[in-house]
Amino acid sequence: MIRPLFAFGASLLLSLTLAGVDAPAPYGPLPTPRQLAWHDLEFYGFVHFTVNTFTDREWGYGDEKPAVFNPTAFDADQIVRTARDAGMKGLILTAKHHDGFCLWPSQYTEHSVKNAPWKNGRGDVVRELGEACRRAGLKYGLYLSPWDRNHRDYARPEYLTYYRNQLRELLTNYGPLFTLWFDGANGGDGFYGGANEKRGIDNRSYYDWPNTWKMVRDLQPMASLFSDAGPDFRWVGNENGFAGETCWATLDMTKPNRYPGGGSAGLNSGERPGTQWLPAECDVSIRPGWFYHASEDAAVKSAAQLLDIYYRSVGRGACLNLNLPPDRRGVIHENDGQALREFRRLLDLTFAHNLARDARVTAGVARGGDRRFAAANAIDGDRATYWATDDAVTTPELVLEFPAPVTFNVVDLREHLPLGQRIEAFAVDAWRDGAWTEIAAGTSIGNRRLVRGARVTTAKVRLRITQAAVAPALAEFGLYAEPDLLDAPTAVRNRQGFLALHGATAATVVRYTTDGAEPTAASPQYAAPIPFAQGGLIKARTFSPDGTRAGATVTKLFGLSKSRWKVLAPAPDGRPKDLPRQMVDDALATVWHAPAPGRVEVTVDLGDALTLRALTYGPPADRAAGAPVNRYEFLTSRDGRTWTTAAAGEFANIAANPIEQTVRLAAPTTARYVRFVALHTIDDAPAAIAEIGATID
């Protein structure tokens, strides 16, 4: 509302206007300035790099010799460039992972880069990556694993002093850090200075987190702190990158599991109204594992998968922390770079133009009729301004009218975070044939909500806030169109071992490769099922008949076909009996459960002697579907009587990241029988086996 100006100039005008109507009162738990700065980042990356990169493991035991750490062409600028070109705003390096090996020359341990051959012991990955980030304008953060399988004092009070000494080095020697990432994993056993034993700690009390956090607050006040339950941002409860369809930025901190390592219950969706602003971070790797494994070069997530993750993380109000693991050269592998470039290209094409900005807002009553709260603020591209209504109006509507019909398939919403999370549900309608048709609906918004749906063409769009705790404060309302790509094909192998590529239409053809190359308009055109019983890598893509348009590439790696396989129970009496086929039906959804806790053995008859290169174990998709095996042994036999151990060890991180585990054999091994021994499971529960498999190359 404009008041008389008198002769006092614009500043008085502003203050009188402010006096006219107050901004809405904040609601519920509120974000701190530190959290607001973190929300702004939206998308940043992890860099998992350590001895594991060279030993091909996910969790090092702590007994690795520093000599194994020897990247041949480490290039921090290449890593940072790859991240920046993908649109990341920062990187978080594993300064120390669970193996205890330090990527900086800590003065408190010999277990570090200073005793590695890399740069003759004068290298410092923490410094080089930090400097490269600064050069490129990226923020920098560090991961310092609390669990340390190398240190002799781990689980004793002395270790805490060591941990804090290290943390102080990182907080004081490497410039401003935007985050410190404290994970809650603890598998118990380790090298521990040669003790080689299992050590337990009480996650709640052992680390004395409040005092460690205080250290960070004193030395790096703007650094946001991560753990399962904050204090600044929380784990989303899985490692697949998906926040809950409803994902509140608040959490009830009075629940008993709200401490680092306290488990995932409640974290995926958050809690409303909650006692604290504690938004989610989705951490996920671009590959199946967190560390680089050459065997996963063909399993890099495609641009389409990365987009799906983006919409289900950033698009649900969380930040996305996407891991890019450097390879043994010390750079991000070409396959990862390629997927990221395509992902970025598609995102940029989508968000280049906000169609809503071309519209006229024809409804959307502003608070007190004041321009400062006008509905037009929601389409001005400025997050600092917002549309707000009078306190009594909690379910308002806003209508956009376009001069000509527009086509879009993405709706983008943001709340004005300094006033808290106010909106509880919304819907979007399009004007069609003289009436409103609902085209999208959802619950939590918070920092951002992206709804991705079918393409809609209309000249009029309505946003309805259908439920809110108090009058809403909406910062942005955007409408975008994803580029119109051809649909990706799907690759399915049948029981007889034939591979079908579905997806060709009257207007498209599917082309494919089996040698790892990107399919081009010159690749073979799919016509009939391909014999694929031996397994291998298939890449397929849809093309227009003239080859000028193409869809996303689908990549799928198949193991040996299991159609002739049989599963046999252990045979104490020498007469093995058949077990159901769930373990060899190529479906991770069907799970076999051992009848009781404890060690179990299952034997697979492959039907023929084959020369095997790797064996696989598929755990249940989540803990509710059964307990994953985390210590195993694989044996092989030519005749079913004489057995040789082919591999044994731990499936590291399988509780948080229950993906299919591939165990490469030391040498090609000819066998007709494979025996899987489950030595130990998560929570000591009965073993659950979704799949057992094998590859021959």
Which residues of the chain form contacts with ligand FUL (CB under 6 A)? Answer: 58-59, 183, 185, 283, 290, 653, 656
Task: Tell me whether residue 183 or residue 650 sits nearer to ligand FUL (CB atom).
Answer: 183
Q: Is the CB of residue 70 less than 8 Å from the CB of residue 118?
A: yes
Interatomic CA distance for residues 612 and 620, integer angstroms: 24
Q: How far is the CB of 38 from ligand FUL (least distance, A)?
A: 17
DSSP strands (E only) in 324-396: 360-363, 387-388
Beta strand residue intervals within 470-618, DSSP E? 473-480, 490-493, 498-502, 509-513, 530-531, 536-543, 554-558, 566-568, 592-593, 600-618
CB of 268 to ligand FUL, least distance (A): 16
C-beta of 268 vs 389, nearer to ligand FUL: 268
Name the residue nearer to ligand FUL (CB basis): 447 or 653: 653
Q: Supply the minimum distance, in Å, between the C-beta of residue 58 and ligand FUL.
A: 6
Contact criterion met (CB below 8 Å) for 136 and 80: yes
Tokens standing for residue 312: 């289900």
Q: What angle do CA 231, 237, 241 make, to 5 degrees?
A: 110
**Least distance from ligand FUL to the Cβ atom of residue 319, Å:** 14
Strands 509-513 and 536-543: antiparallel
**Is the separation of the CB atoms in 618 and 691 below 8 Å?**
yes
In eight-state DSSP terms, residue 644 is: E
Q: How far is the CB of 279 from ligand FUL (least distance, A)?
A: 18
Q: How far is the CB of 406 from ligand FUL (least distance, A)?
A: 41
* 43 or 59: CB nearest ligand FUL: 59
SS3 77: helix
Q: Are 263 and 257 within 8 A, CB to CB?
A: yes
Closest CB to ligand FUL among residues 140, 147: 147
Closest approach of ligand FUL to the CB of residue 184, in Å: 6
Q: How far is CA 653 from the centre of its chain?
A: 14
The full 3-state SS of 190-259, as one line of letters, equals ECHHHCCEECCCCCCCCCCHHHHHHHHHHHCCCCEEECCECCCEEECCCCECCCCCCCCCEECCCCCCCC
| Cα angle, residue 685 at apex, residues 682 and 689 outer, rounded to 5° | 80
Cβ within 8 Å of residue 352, ≥6 positions away: none
Nearer to ligand FUL, 183 or 296 (CB): 183
> What SS3 class is residue 675?
strand
Instruction: Please tell me the distance from the alpha carbon of residue 102 to that of residue 205, in angstroms, as a whole number.
Output: 25
Q: Considering the complex, what minimum distance in angstroms separates the CB of residue 151 from ligand FUL?
A: 17
In whole angstroms, the minimum distance from the beta carbon of 59 to ligand FUL comes to 6
Helix axes 303-313, 334-351, angle to 10 degrees: 60
Distance CA 689, CA 251 (A): 34
Q: What is 5-29 written as a DSSP string?
A: -TTS-HHHHHHHHHHHSPPPPP-SS
Residue that has been written with the tokens 């059964």 in this structure: 626
Please report how close the Cβ of residue 238 comes to ligand FUL at its closest, in angstroms. 11
Nearest-approach distance from CB 203 to ligand FUL, in angstroms? 12
State the alpha helices, DSSP H only, in 28-91.
33-41, 52-55, 76-85
Q: Given the complex with ligand FUL, which of 225 and 347 has the nearer CB atom?
A: 225
Residue 172 backbone phi and psi in degrees, to 5? -110, -20
Minimum distance from residue 523 beta carbon to ligand FUL (Å): 37
Of 149 and 675, which CB lies nearer to ligand FUL in the complex structure? 149
Residue 509 CA to residue 79 CA, distance in Å, equals 36
* 476 burial type by CB count under 10 A (0-12 exposed, 13-18 middle, 19+ buried): buried
Residue among 145 and 555 whose Cβ is closer to ligand FUL: 145
Cα separation of 373 and 230, whole Å?
Answer: 33
Find, among 451, 492, 493, 449, the residue nearest to 474 by Cα: 449
- Answer yes or no: are the C-beta atoms of 539 and 554 closer than 8 Å: yes
Minimal distance, residue 648 CB to ligand FUL, in Å: 20
Backbone φ and ψ of 253, nearest 5°: -80, 0
Q: Output 42 or 239, the one with its CB closest to ligand FUL.
A: 239
For ligand FUL, which is the closer residue by CB, 649 or 686? 649
What letter does residue 485 receive in the DSSP assignment? P
CB of 559 to ligand FUL, least distance (A): 25
- Closest residue to ligand FUL, judged by C-beta, is 185
CB of 650 to ligand FUL, least distance (A): 12
Alpha helix ranges (H) inside 445-604: none
Query: Quick one: 225 or 612, whose CB is closer to ligand FUL?
Result: 225
Tell me the torsion sign for CA atoms 211, 217, 218, 220: positive
Residue number with CB closer to ligand FUL (284 or 314): 284
> Smallest distance from the beta carbon of 280 to ligand FUL, in angstroms?
14
User: Shortest distance, CB of residue 494 to ligand FUL, whole angstroms?
Assistant: 36
Give the bridge partners for 473, in sequence order. Answer: 388
Report, in Å, the least distance between residue 283 CB and ligand FUL.
Answer: 5
Nearest to 373 by CA among 506, 495, 475: 475
For ligand FUL, give the closer residue by CB, 60 or 87.
60
